[in-house]
Amino acid sequence: MSSPNKPTEQQQQLTSPTNNFQFTTKTFALLIALLALTLAFTNPIRQSLTSLLPTAARPLRTMSTSSLKITKQPWSARGHSDHDWLYTFHTFSFAGWQSTFRESFGPLRVINEDRVKPTTGFGAHSHAEFLIFSYIVNGTLEHRDSMGNLEYLKRGEVQFTSAGTGIRHSEYNRDKNDEVHFLQIWAKPDIRGLKPHYETKKFTDEQKADKLVRVMESTSRLGEKTETSPIGLQADLSMDASILSPGKKVVHEVVAEGPRKVLVQLVMNGRKQPKEGGAKIKVGDVVLGEGDAAFVEGVKGPGQVEVENVGEGKAEFLLFDLGMNDA
């Protein structure tokens, strides 16, 4: 494509004066009008002219699926450990597991899908300079930290810790019978040395039913705090949650202008992706099963990303809209 400032040959022809003929002003205007009409209906020329316009004057382009590059990470291509007390999958490199796929995606650095057996858990350990949030899928997670917080988190609740200069916390399953299933997510903050912060909020199944609910939002995009507003975090990251019924579709509006990345992670129902049936969603032309993720590149705001349930059961998934700088 030609740069907006460099005129093409065609444009030069249009603007260079012609000395051979003398036009009356009227004839000239008529010819220009005819030429404009011809150009308007000649597609290739129209496109080349559009590219000459400065960006702001161009018509807004809606993203077509073909402009998106969608890479599927199958559930079983994630890092995986079964420590008996902990059954876990890692979307990105974690603990001893080194991903050959992606180290991070925008500010997102960790998505772990964890199942912790009754009466076990993660003992007290330290964190610093990370934004850490747990999305509870099933069971009860005890959270205890060095800021004096003690909570029992259940399905629908999201626990957010901005570790900042440093915290210690433990995550435990105190139940005698039921395991706890949750997604733990880490993102890199824009700013170092933040004061440690703790916040919990509930987003119900009803709120998520066939809708996208904003659960996490960059403080730079967060409006006034209300009962239903998302949890603010200091990173260029928005996270939505949805529970989509078969045949239903949701449309995500890209949260910021310019190039973005989107990641969609489908939550698992069981310990393995079922061979037949199970939850299935479609992102662009890519179908995800339980535990699969879609890494979407070539996203540009303003624009939209659609997710459709193409399976037989309800599909619970998280959708991240991310800035371009990798953690």
Closest approach of ligand NAG to the CB of residue 116, in Å: 11
Q: How would you label 244-275 residue by residue, b for 16+ Cβ within 10 Å and e otherwise? A: beeebebebebbbeeebbbbbbbbbbeeebee
| Residue among 225, 224, 221, 202 nearest 213 (CA) | 202
Of residues 259 through 318, those in contact with ligand NAG by CB under 6 A are 269
Closest approach of ligand NAG to the CB of residue 265, in Å: 16
Give the type of residue at 91. T
Closest approach of ligand NAG to the CB of residue 249, in Å: 23
What character string, x for contact with ligand NAG (CB under 6 A) and - otherwise, covers 91-130? ----------------------------------------
Can you name the residues that pair with 145 across neighbouring β-strands? Answer: 169
- By CB under 6 A, the count of residues binding ligand NAG is 5
What character string, x for contact with ligand NAG (CB under 6 A) and - otherwise, covers 131-170? -------xx-------------------------------
- Give the C-alpha separation, 243 to 326, whole Å: 28
Spatial contact of 130 and 160, defined as CB atoms under 8 Å apart: no
**Binding flag, residue 178, ligand NAG (CB under 6 A):** yes
Task: Report residue 45 as tokens.
Answer: 């020329």
Q: Which is nearer to ligand NAG, 108 or 266 (CB)?
A: 266
**Among positions 113, 114, 145, 179, the unique one binding ligand NAG when judged by CB under 6 A:** 179
- Give the C-alpha separation, 19 to 273, whole Å: 75
Q: Which is nearer to ligand NAG, 139 or 278 (CB)?
A: 139
Q: Which is nearer to ligand NAG, 276 or 285 (CB)?
A: 276
Q: Which is nearer to ligand NAG, 6 or 176 (CB)?
A: 176
Q: Which is nearer to ligand NAG, 182 or 320 (CB)?
A: 182
| Residue among 185, 255, 247, 165 nearest 214 (CA) | 255
Contacts (Cβ under 8 Å, ≥6 apart) of 5: none
Task: Report residue 14 as tokens.
Answer: 């249009």
In the complex, the residues that contact ligand NAG under the rule CB under 6 A are 138-139, 178-179, 269
